[in-house]
């Protein structure tokens, strides 16, 4: 998969250089013909090792769909990286349920942790309050929901 991703990246840059004024057309073609977000799309983690993207009703971390159920979701609060760049969290709505999703060990094959949430306000965001604690609300000091876990549980 990494070699495929590298080839797509090189192909995208090559096409952009060859068609300097036609970048939007190239991007649109790549978006509609691939199963994953563009390699340059999304938000990089602190340190730049990982990338998260929201595309076509799904959330992708390093090019892999996090919830491979095949059901489309609506992301309510954009994915937020933990300060070390090794974990990401967001809120989403799908299948009639609002939920918090946390991937606590990006790049190590960890399954996402999911918590059901009450209805959220539009201004609610995800805030990291430590290595194993996430707050959902307007700010870190105005929580609507709090989730925490032990890294030992994940091993």
Greatest C-alpha distance within the chain: 52
In whole angstroms, give the CA distance from residue 128 to residue 147: 10
Domain-wise residue ranges, the chain = 1-41, 42-154
Is the whole model's pTM more than 0.75, yes or no?
no
Spatial neighbors of 131 by CB under 8 A, at least 6 apart, are: 82, 84, 87, 151
CB 88, CB 82: distance < 8 Å: yes
| pLDDT class of 9 with cuts at 50, 70, 90 | very low
| pLDDT tens digits, 19-67 | 333 323 222 222 222 355 555 579 999 999 999 999 988 999 999 998 7
Q: Which helix (H) or strand (E) holds 103?
A: strand 97-103
């Amino acid at each position: 998969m990494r070699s495929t991703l590298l080839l797509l990246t090189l192909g995208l840059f090559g096409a952009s250089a060859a068609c300097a004024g036609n970048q939007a057309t190239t991007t649109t073609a790549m978006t509609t013909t691939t199963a994953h977000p563009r390699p340059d799309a999304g938000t990089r983690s602190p340190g730049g090792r990982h990338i998260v993207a929201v595309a076509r009703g799904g959330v992708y971390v390093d090019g892999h769909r996090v919830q491979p159920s095949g059901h489309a979701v609506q992301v309510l609060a954009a994915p937020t990286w933990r300060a070390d760049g090794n974990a990401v969290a967001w809120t989403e709505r799908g299948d009639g349920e609002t939920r918090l999703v946390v991937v606590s060990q990006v790049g190590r094959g960890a399954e996402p942790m999911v918590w059901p949430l009450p209805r959220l306000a539009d201004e609610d965001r995800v805030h990291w309050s430590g290595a194993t604690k996430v707050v959902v609300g307007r700010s870190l000091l105005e929580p609507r929901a709090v989730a925490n876990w032990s890294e030992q549980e994940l091993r």
